Amino acid sequence: MTFGQRLQKLDRRWLYLLTALVIGIPFLPGVRVPVPAPVIQPQTRAYYQAIEDLASDPVESKKLVIVAVNYGAGTLAENQSQCEATLKHLMRKKLKFALLTFIDPQGRDLGLRLAERLGPSRGYTYGQNWCSFGFRPFDGVNQILKTMSTDMPGGVVTDAKGAAIESLPVMAGVRSADDVGMVINFASTQSIDVWLQFFSRPDKSALPVLYAPTSIMAPEAYPLLRSGQLKGMLTGLKGAIEYEALLKEPGFATSASASLSWAHFLIIGLVILGNVGMYLEKKRV
Amino acid sequence: MFDFLLNPKIAQALVVWAGAACTLGIYSILYKENKVFRFFEHLFIGLGTGYTIAITWNDILGPRWWKPMITEGKWYFFFALPAGMLFYFVYSKRHAWLSRLIFGVSFGAAAGLAFQGFAAKFFPQLQRLAATRFTDLAESKSSDAYALTPFSAALNNFLGLVILSCVMTYFFFSFQPKDKPAKIVAKMSMSGRWVLMFAFGAIFGSTIMARMSLLIGRMYFLIHDWVVVTLLGGT
């Protein structure tokens, strides 16, 4: 069997094993794989800056930030690290926020648990500084967001713990989209459109919308950045790595950067090898 | 009997062990098709469905429909039930017309919302493209993160228009490429196909990154949470 044939007929399970090793080795205790500092992309810097700008505005910083946790356990590695870094940033800047889920019901508890884990050590109390609107089914989210944009308590009604939303101190004075300072959407599937549709406020100053999708969805969102409909974006795990670097608060994403970089090297190498194998085989035949 | 489950450390360890078993069970498909994978696949589907039903009742139907109807005197909320049940008449040949009533209402509302959604998403993009002249160098003076040099701004707008035209032409099938104008259209169409391929290539590259990221998340869980912390007692 020639080298080209060997490459063409290589059992794909060897590739799976190789990928698992390349990704797993940097996580072994005591192993330190060198990776250069991440290059911060403009959309990540804009994402960071939008929150900084909101916090520095004396009027806007008093408004509510809606954090849409639209992901499930399937994309934890990408979306959870984005969400964790963002909540840390919001808490650092003392911005009040509300969680809302309308795509994957798992996002309701993932967001709630994350905020409950991060909150106490940062002086954040449920009901006082943050709350969760809970889960709303995507089939009805158009109607709910449309109502929320003009009548926030009427659209939300109760929080994730069953309390009337108006009874929460964090919601005091929040009557409509005018009382919302920013929307941040973490997404594993297409879900940004509804925010642009109902919270874009075309007759007033645009409400800043930030987007943190998985890497797959990011290319479709670039036109929204250029048009100004999105103020910033985190591109999957890579975006989370860059954002943690900007925050100077390393988390899971930073620890995964070596694995991500080496996995890309491996894939590129395998693509080249695969093409070499195909070329050699064509030449031989 | 199950008091030991109240111990947070034991409960956490059980959760991690269950997570590790599920992860390895699902990844066993990479070796070959097997019954363990099928078991965990069904387990995930069942868990996901049950979880969704519970959350939908706890967050939507319970507080927003059942409770107001039963305890707050909003008896007229009852009519949501027969209206919703109309969907299920689609399974009856004799009474399928009843389902069309509710489907018609849903489609009408969805169509109106979709039109508004299209306008909200795409009109600002078209407006930005149309309102920026090639000679308008405002973008270069902008302080935003996407500020371009004057030459780049002009080139970017020009490319945007050309690519938009070519891609639109690719989906325009009414010409036969015989006469001269039609040949130009055919060339534009082919160019549109090429730029679409570039876009799909970029999306595929991002897809690889996403898939690797998901594997990284699971590998971190297996190595750190399961082996290092739970099995070896590390931190």
Query: What's at A230, amino acid-wise?
Result: L
Match 């709910």 to its residue by tokens: A144
| Mean pLDDT rounded to a whole number for chain B | 86
| Helical spans, DSSP H, in chain B | 8-27, 35-56, 67-71, 80-85, 96-131, 138-141, 150-170, 180-220
Chain B neighbors of A196, CB-CB under 8 A: 117, 120-121
Interchain contact, A259 vs B216, CB within 8 Å = yes
ipTM: 0.88
Judged by a CB distance cut-off of 8 A, whether residue B33 touches chain A is no
Grade residue B178 by pLDDT with cuts at 50, 70 and 90.
low
Measured in angstroms, the CA of B180 and the nearest CA of chain A are apart by 34
Determine the Cα–Cα distance for residues B57 and B63; give it in Å rounded to an integer. Answer: 8
In this predicted structure, what is the pLDDT of residue B140? 47
Residues 206-235 of B with CB under 8 A from A: 206-210, 212-220, 222-224, 228, 234
Range name among A248-262, B101-115, B120-134 with the lowest pLDDT average: B120-134
In this predicted structure, what is the pLDDT of residue A89? 97
**Residues contacting A74, CB < 8 A, separation 6+:** A188, B214
**Which class for A63: exposed (0-12), middle (13-18), buried (19 or more C-beta within 10 A)?**
buried
Candidates A19, A197, A216; nearest CB to B215: A19
CB contact at 8 A, A20 and B218:
no
In this predicted structure, what is the pLDDT of residue B146? 57
Range name among A152-156, A204-208, A232-236, B165-169 with the lowest pLDDT average: A204-208
Measured in angstroms, the CA of A177 and the nearest CA of chain B are apart by 16
Examine the pLDDT at B133 and tell me if it is beyond 70. Answer: no
CB contact at 8 A, A273 and A18:
no
Interchain contact, B51 vs A142, CB within 8 Å = no
Mean pLDDT of the region A146-161: 90
Determine the Cα–Cα distance for residues B29 and B41; give it in Å rounded to an integer. Answer: 10
For the record, the structure tokens of A128 come out as 């006082």
Closest chain A residue by Cα to residue B23: A74
Tens-place pLDDT, residues A50-89: 999 999 999 999 999 999 999 998 899 999 999 999 999 9
Interchain contact, B59 vs A160, CB within 8 Å = yes
| Helical spans, DSSP H, in B72-179 | 80-85, 96-131, 138-141, 150-170
Examine the pLDDT at A12 and tell me if it is beyond 50. Answer: yes
Mean pLDDT of the region A124-146: 91
Phi-psi region of A201 (alpha: psi -120 to 50; beta: other; left: phi over 0): left
Tens-place pLDDT, residues A214-262: 999 998 898 898 888 899 999 999 999 999 999 999 999 999 999 999 9
Residues 134-193 of B with CB under 8 A from A: 144-146
Examine the pLDDT at A125 and tell me if it is beyond 80. Answer: yes
Bigger pLDDT: B152 vs B198 = B198
Chain B neighbors of A105, CB-CB under 8 A: 51-52, 55-56
Tens-place pLDDT, residues B12-45: 899 999 999 999 999 999 999 999 999 999 999 9
CB contact at 8 A, B39 and B25:
yes
Chain B neighbors of A142, CB-CB under 8 A: 113
Tens-place pLDDT, residues A87-118: 999 999 999 999 999 999 999 999 999 999 99
| Mean pLDDT rounded to a whole number for chain A | 91
Interchain contact, B209 vs A106, CB within 8 Å = no
Q: Shortest CA distance to A188 belongs to which of A54, A50, A62, A83? A: A83
Candidates B117, B145, B228; nearest CB to A45: B145
Interchain contact, A228 vs B128, CB within 8 Å = yes
In this predicted structure, what is the pLDDT of residue A141? 86
Total Cβ atoms within 10 A of residue A131: 26
Tens-place pLDDT, residues A265-285: 999 999 999 999 889 888 887
Examine the pLDDT at A175 and tell me if it is beyond 60. Answer: yes
Measured in angstroms, the CA of B132 and the nearest CA of chain A are apart by 11
